[in-house]
Amino acid sequence: MRIKICLLTFYIIVALLTSTSFADDGTTILKKVDRNLQPESYEMYRKLINLEPDGDRKEFVLYSIKKGRDKMVALFLDPPSEKGRSSLRDGDNMWLYIPNVGKPLRITSLQSVVGGVFNNSDILRLDYSQEYNIISLVNDEDKHILELKAKTNSVAYDRLKMWVEKKNLVPTKIEAYAASGLLIKTLHYSKIKDFGNGIIRPSMLQTDSPLYQGYQSIMLFSNIKKRTFADEVFTLNYMSRIESLR
């Protein structure tokens, strides 16, 4: 009896140590993925393209900046009808500034200021390791497969399944799920590009969703550069002045 108890205790300890090791390894990989996708503080330009089943196509050009782990701003440059609008994220809080409107408006992560399949969380994305914990790691021949669980209920997706290319340690595909297990959307990263200063990452992100049959959204990245900003830039009072940073 004592031998069985000792063996059971041994297997439990081994399982716990193995689980902890996987979590530690997965967290290390995820943090490297974050840094490979974007410097901790940076500026970049993006084009967002929404394709609709009827053939309609809408495009937006954004200038975006990020500081640290929890602050990001996106400024609309085009089309002219959107020019001057800006979105701010500070942790879990998000706002939309519209010129000629009295004050910034609160928005949520699951809403979308551009329509299409991308939501505000996709557009103002923080580091994955900031919002998710590792729950499993599988090492395949040429990729890591990570399963992530949201740290809080305020995160747009409850769970992510991420395929990471081993060579450049960047994602190739991410499936995003609701707490119910429903697949909300799939993100496809492609077209690896050298942006300079050690930034080698996908230059295209495409997404589709079973909830939006026939719709597709595309994000094209350019001019990603490391840059530091004052904290003041990421405040409500500064949203009307983001253009001055370009």
Domain residues of the chain, as ranges? Answer: 32-245
pLDDT of residue 194: 95
> Mean per-residue pLDDT for 15-25?
50
Q: Over 80: is that where the pLDDT of 1 sits?
A: no
List, for residues 73-121, the tens digit of each pLDDT value. Answer: 999 999 999 999 999 999 999 999 999 887 899 999 989 999 999 999 9
pLDDT exceeds 90 at position 7: no
Task: Name the token pair of 181.
Answer: 């297990």
Peptide bond into 79 cis (omega under 30): yes
What would the two tokens of residue 210 be? 């079973």
- Report yes or no: 77 and 11 within 8 Å, Cβ to Cβ: no
CATH architecture observed for domain 32-245: Clam (2.50)
Q: Is 244's pLDDT higher than 60? A: yes
Query: Sorting pLDDT into bands at 50, 70 and 90, what band is 223?
Result: very high
Measured between alpha carbons, how far is residue 145 from residues 45, 162, 211 in Å?
29, 6, 24
pLDDT at 243 over 70: yes
| Cα 39 off chain centre by | 13
Cα(52)–Cα(146) distance, rounded to whole angstroms?
31
Q: Is the predicted pLDDT of residue 217 greater than 60, yes or no?
A: yes
Residue 195: how many other CB atoms lie within 10 Å: 17
DSSP 240: G
Report the SS3 class of residue 235. coil
pLDDT of the residue at 99: 93
What span, in angstroms and rounded, lies between the C-alpha atoms of 179 and 172?
23
pLDDT confidence tier of residue 203, bands split at 50, 70 and 90: very high
DSSP state of 231: G
- Measured in whole angstroms, how far is the alpha carbon of residue 140 from the centre of its chain? 23
Q: How far apart are CA 196 and CA 226, in angstroms?
A: 10
CA dihedral 16, 130, 114, 217 (to 10 degrees): -40
Residue 170 has pLDDT above 70, yes or no: yes
Question: What is the rounded distance in angstroms from the CA atom of residue 77 to the CA atom of residue 31?
Answer: 31
**Phi, psi torsion values for 97, nearest 5 degrees:** -100, 130
- Does the structure show a pLDDT above 90 at 15? no
Residue 220 has pLDDT above 80, yes or no: yes
pLDDT of 13: 43
For the full predicted model, state whether its pTM sits above 0.85: yes
Strand pairing class (199-208; 216-226): antiparallel
Instruction: Give the pLDDT score at 102.
Output: 76
Q: What is the mean pLDDT of the chain?
A: 90
Confidence band of 141 (pLDDT split at 50, 70, 90): confident
- 208 versus 13: which is more confidently predicted? 208
